[in-house]
Amino acid sequence: MRRIGLVVNPIAGMGGRVGLKGTDNKVEEARRRGAEPRAPDRARQALEHLEEQSTEVAVYTYGGVMGEDEAVAAGFEPTVVGRPDGDETSTADTRAAVRALVDADVDLILFVGGDGTAVDVAETLDELDDATPILGVPGGVKVYSSVFAVTPRAAGRIATTFERTERREVNDIDEDAYRGGDVNTELKALAEVPVGDEIQSSKQIGGGTVEALAEAVAAEVDPETTYVLGPGSTVDAVKTELGFNGSPLGVDVWRGGEVVARDAGESDILDALGERNVIVVSPIGGQGFIFGRGNDQISPPVIRQSDIEVVASKQKLKDIGVLRVDTGDPELDEALRGWMRVRVGKFERQLLKVV
């Protein structure tokens, strides 16, 4: 019997689709913009797949929205090891949950959130001098650490099947600096993580010369088409070629020589879409995600109304090997899988598989 400890950060990821690039100290602002909780649904996806994988699983969790609700919804009868202090959960609740799960002698702590939640989990284990393995279900906006499964369903599979673990990095960034366009990761902790093909790598920061690539994209724009331009340095070079200073880590919408929406949230993008729309994105270095990491504003409704142009340097594609998607919509993810042409130069495109 494998004992799985579950911790859900119920506010993780709320800032993504409304353009906040994170939820640290921004929960009320996210709610004001109409954000809805994302982590509970991600938790249920992982748990439903965990339940399908094995009947020899016992779930231990914190009360209410921190895991109990999701475990019950997925068909488990969880053992509740504690409850949050109030209606609004906090970092202190996450850390208390980890301590209680360690006391319950679980075999794995499966947490749902982003890098901030990963830091809370890993630092608490460090304080306890405990080596319980952890595995992240990606539910936050920032997912830079190499302790996450590539999708919630992958987390469910790995949780029941892993046979060994290895030390991996927990990284985080300053969200206020991130919102201002400055990305600097900081190593916060090391943690034991299951070994598996579906564990993501740490995001690699860095780039290369992409001027020719950006020039080619800009030269081919259609003035009647609406372009949804994603975050990152490669697409930022495209924005520069189009003649405006974009939000480097945000999503901008451009049409007919004008910026229609800057640093846009999901609703802004949907309002700006026209008859024909093209999303321009670049995969995250070291991971390969084109949707679902750092660009939740480009939501399933936006993707379904748009064509997709993926741009990247040859070196980046060589480093990542495959493209990945994690939109939160399983049917859309499945529809996106397969071979995709990626623009790698002024004239050249390269086929890469979306897995």
Lowest mean pLDDT among 2-6, 99-103, 203-207, 322-326: 203-207
The CATH number that applies at residue 146 is 3.40.50.10330
* Tally of domains in the chain: 2
185 and 307 together in one domain: no
For residues 223-244, give the mean pLDDT: 93
254 and 145 together in one domain: no
Residue 205 lies in a domain: no
CA dist 355 and 352 (Å) reads 9
- For residue 216, name the pLDDT band (cuts at 50, 70, 90): confident
For residues 213-220, give the mean pLDDT: 88
**How much is the pTM?**
0.63
What is the DSSP code string of 256-315?
TTEEEESS--HHHHHHH--SSEEEEE-PPTTT-EEESSS-TTS-HHHHHTSEEEEE--HH
Residues ≥6 apart with Cβ < 8 Å to 330: 45, 153
- CB distance 317 to 352 below 8 Å: yes
Final residue in a domain of this structure, among 147, 164, 194: 194
Please report the pLDDT score of residue 27 as a whole number. 47
Residues ≥6 apart with Cβ < 8 Å to 331: none
Lowest mean pLDDT among 76-80, 203-207, 273-277: 203-207
Domain that holds residue 21: 2-194
237 and 283 together in one domain: yes
Q: How many residues does the chain have?
A: 355
Per-residue burial over 291-327, b if 16 or more Cβ lie within 10 Å, else e, is bbbbbbbbbeebbebbebbbbbbeebbebbeebbbbb
**Structure-model confidence comparison of residues 86 and 14, the more confident one:** 86
Residue 261: CB atoms within 10 Å:
23
For residues 47-69, give the mean pLDDT: 86
Which tens digits make up the pLDDT trace of 7-46?
A: 999 887 554 444 444 445 544 554 455 546 678 889 999 9
CA dist 137 and 200 (Å) reads 11
178 and 33 together in one domain: yes
Please report the pLDDT score of residue 37 as a whole number. 66
- What number of CA atoms fall less than 13 Å from residue 85's CA on the CB side? 8
Please report the pLDDT score of residue 204 as a whole number. 47
133 and 267 together in one domain: no
220 and 129 together in one domain: no
179 and 261 together in one domain: no
Please report the pLDDT score of residue 55 as a whole number. 64
335 and 190 together in one domain: no
SS3 6: strand
Please report the pLDDT score of residue 183 as a whole number. 53
Report the percentage of the chain scoring pLDDT > 70: 85
Nearest C-alpha neighbor of 157 from the set 60, 56, 50? 50
Q: Burial of 272 by CB count in 10 Å (0-12 exposed, 13-18 middle, 19+ buried)?
A: buried
